[in-house]
Amino acid sequence: MSSATAAADQVREYKRQAAEFAADMVQDGMIVGLGTGSTAVFLVEALGRRHREGLRFLGIPTSIATEKLARSLGVPLTSFAEHESVDLAIDGADEIERGTLNLIKGLGGALLREKIVAAASKKFVVVADDSKLVDHLGADCLVPVEVTPFGWESTARHLGRLGARVSPRRSPTGQFFVSDGGNLILDCNFGTIAKPADTEDAIRRIVGVVDSGLFTGIASEAVTCGPEGLIHVTVTGAGNVF
Ligand SMILES: O=C[C@H](O)[C@H](O)[C@H](O)COP(=O)(O)O
């Protein structure tokens, strides 16, 4: 096995451990937000096992991919038509700011459904391998912004005026990437983001923007895993009030 393969396997193992720790937070009767991405796959698999062992809960998936995986594993699903809020949402992230748990999400393109579920959650727990932890968001990670296809060039110019270098996301074959909601994603390089909440607000005010992958003040807990093992942190003052 090459050292690159061994390192990738190790990161997958960290993701699995973080996701399985968070899956154990799910209790009987809960409505659970099911995240998207390679870390969330381990979460859904763990919840599939817990469901088979008798745990009663209902999931609300944050993407078509997660919905398909959950269905294939027999995880029972529901929707906001049936339930007003989510007891616990668990999802991955692309960057996690130490101390605040502000996040960048959406490199997989699922940010909008993820944010809707997170915003409807009493508790939002982020799970990741510890390479996602950063002192400041944005230095090494683009901020995905979901925009309506109509007029995206104009929306991109407005984002540029906020100081971002903006590129429409494309598939490997050069086509525009289209989100589950039928929108485009503009990947924005802001560099280091000094005030993530202000940047999130400024992006959201642009006409044509649906929402961004900046999640500030939403995650109240993080479970990360790395060479030092599992670390579970809680921040006060974050999260939604119901
Ligand atoms: O759109 C994708 C989601 O925001 C993911 O949760 C995020 O990209 C992290 O994914 P992964 O667990 O694969 O690193």
Q: What angle do CA 213, 220, 32 make, to 5 degrees?
A: 80
Its domain, for residue 169, covers 143-212
Average pLDDT over residues 115-127: 98
| 121, burial (CB in 10 Å: exposed 0-12, middle 13-18, buried 19+) | buried
Q: Report the predicted TM-score, pTM, of the whole model to 2 decimal places.
A: 0.97
Does any ligand 1 atom lie closer than 6 A to the CB of residue 78?
A: no
Q: Count of domains in the chain?
A: 2
Quote the radius of gyration of the chain (alpha carbons, Å). 18
Does residue 240 lie within any of the structural domains? Answer: no
At residue 176, the 3 state secondary structure works out as strand
Does 157 lie in the same domain as 203? Answer: yes
Does any ligand 1 atom lie closer than 6 A to the CB of residue 144?
A: no
Q: Is 36 annotated as a binding residue?
A: yes
Does 98 lie in the same domain as 21? Answer: yes
Does 17 lie in the same domain as 75? Answer: yes
Instruction: Please report the atom of ligand 1 found closest to the CA of residue 107.
Output: 8
Does any ligand 1 atom lie closer than 6 A to the CB of residue 39?
A: yes
Residues forming beta bridges with residue 233, ordered by sequence position? 222
CA-to-CA dists, residue 68 to 23, 63, 76, 168, angstroms: 18, 9, 12, 27
Question: What are the structure tokens assigned to 193, written together?
Answer: 């983001």
Mind listing the pLDDT tens digit for each residue in 106-115? Answer: 999 999 999 9
153 is catalytic: no
* Ligand 1 pocket mutation pick from 63, 105, 140, 223 by most atoms within 8 angstroms of CB: 105
Average pLDDT over residues 44-68: 98
The CATH number given to whatever domain includes residue 81 is: 3.40.50.1360
Average pLDDT, rounded, for the chain: 97
* C-alpha closest to that of 107 among 145, 152, 65, 69: 145
